[in-house]
Amino acid sequence: MINKSSKIWLNVLDLTRTQIGNERFNLWFKNVRMPGYNEGIASIVVPNVFIKTWFEENFLSIIKENLQTVTNKDVDVEFTVGGTGFENEIAMSTRAPSGKRDSEDSDDGGSSGSSSCDDQLKSSCRVLSLNDFVVGNCNRLAYASALELINPTNNSYNALFIHGQVGVGKTHLLQGIWNMVKKSGNSKNVAYLAAECWTNEFIHALKNGKLDSFRHKYRNMDILLIDDVHFISSKPGVQEELLHTFNMLHGMSKRIVFASDSHPKFIYKLKESLSSRFMTGMVTKIESPDVKTAYLILDSKLKIMKKEFPAAVIEYMAETFLSNVRDLECALTTVLAVSNITKKRIDVEMVKDALNDQIPKQSRTRTVTIKDIEKSVIKHFNITLADIHSSKRVAYISQARQTAMYLSSILTNLSRQQIGNHFGGKKHTTVIHAIKKIKERIEKDQELNVQIERLKASLYKGED
């Protein structure tokens, strides 16, 4: 007969499965139980300390909410580890009866979920090649660094960290490396996967007593490429495993490539030990494409599709969609679809109509001048014209001056020296320092990022 605690827990599990999906549910909740529920306190037993930490950080709110739904009472949750073992305890609790094998077990330490993930990634890798990667000023260093890393004669560095905002081509570079290495046959063991897949595979191996197989697999790679590595933020156990994997590969002079939306120093809750290891190799950023590169990207994609657009149309789209490559691709797909449906000839006016809801607001507004920026920043920071042109190093004046220089660099076509000349005859190196300072602060200071975006929006609208 099922007791009260078990009944409640079964109902909670049903709700949780619906909310997080079967694959995630099977991965995490297979060996979790609730043996006790008494006076509004639910005692939940998990296999080991790692999973206890993970549940506290990722599933506590879901479980509490579902317990309250089932019991119609406020419930506190206590997680405890059911046993003193670590990996062995998990292996014993999840191993199938003698003579049978768990259908999810695999010899390489992976899971059925990670296998499908691998298949999906390998399928997408076949499409993206370094030969199709359009090189411009925004990504030239990252591209050259990737080629140098896989050059058999390279002794400069064996770790590469590529960062940049979403949609600028980081994944294309990593998958392009995977493709080139595979085709060259120079390296037998090459793996490309997203950090989430690596994490899930590690956890599955940990839960099923196959950690040795997992480590043997990834610590014997000739080249390991991990995308979206920022996924492991706030996951100390996963970070620790990746750190040891990195150290092992780095010590054997194997090649390691990571991609992330943020610089290693600015990945949220990333261990300092891992951040510093990421920076032992080459760290390079991919910027948003400039107009020339955006034009070349569109032209390249049209050639691959065997389509032709008038030069004026490509130029208009390149000037309009500069935030990232993904926006360019979306715009291109939309124009082709609208043209196919309406049978309209593709010209600038047709493209404007087709992309009306996608065109960034700043593309529809006025030209911004350095005097506009100066006036807006002075008002925002409540300082004087003399202050912003001065060399005063008072914190709020310095920040205002640096903000104005940064905005001038991204909203006008002026050179660094021209910007410096305007703001009290500063050297171009001072402007470069100001731009770098603001960029670094934006990545880790959400409040400043919001301020900058508001200033940009008001400048585009011509608001005083």
Query: Which pTM value belongs to this model?
Result: 0.56
What sign does the CA torsion over 263, 266, 271, 272 have? Answer: positive
**Domain CATH code at residue 391:** 1.10.1750.10
Residues 171 and 295 in one domain: no
* Range list of H helices, 254-391: 272-278, 291-305, 311-320, 325-342, 348-354, 370-381, 385-389
Whether 403 and 377 have beta carbons less than 8 Å apart is answered as yes
Instruction: List the end-to-end C-alpha distance of the chain, in Å, as a whole number.
Output: 73
Q: Is residue 225 part of a domain?
A: yes
Residues 251 and 178 in one domain: yes
Give Rg (Cα) of the chain: 27
The b-or-e profile of 334-373 (16+ CB within 10 A means b, else e) is ebbebbeeeeeebeeebbeebbeeeeeebeeeeebebebb
Answer left, alpha or beta for residue 309, where phi above 0 means left and psi between -120 and 50 means alpha: beta
Structure tokens at 239: 């970070």
pLDDT one-digit tens code per residue, 18-33:
888 776 787 778 778 8
Q: Is residue 363 part of a domain?
A: no
Residues 118 and 237 in one domain: yes
Residues of the chain with confidence (pLDDT) below 70? 1-2, 23, 48-50, 82-127, 186-187, 322-323, 357-366, 446, 460-464
Residues 156 and 273 in one domain: yes
Residues 189 and 226 in one domain: yes
Question: Which of 307, 325, 356 is the last residue before a domain boundary?
Answer: 356
Distances 207 to 58, 248, 289 between C-alpha atoms, Å: 17, 23, 44
Q: Is residue 385 part of a domain?
A: yes
Secondary structure (H, E, C), 250-284: HHCCCEEEEEECCCHHHCCCCCHHHHHHHCCCEEE
**Domain CATH code at residue 15:** 3.30.300.180
Number of domains in the chain: 4
Q: What is the pLDDT of residue 361?
A: 52
* Interatomic CA distance for residues 265 and 278, integer angstroms: 9
* Interatomic CA distance for residues 289 and 299, integer angstroms: 14
pLDDT one-digit tens code per residue, 193-222:
999 999 999 999 998 999 999 999 999 999
Range of the domain at 267: 112-285
Q: What is the pLDDT of residue 461?
A: 61
Amino acid at 436: K
Whether 75 and 68 have beta carbons less than 8 Å apart is answered as yes
Residues 281 and 297 in one domain: no
- What dihedral angle (degrees, nearest 10) is formed by the CA atoms of 57, 19, 47, 11? 130
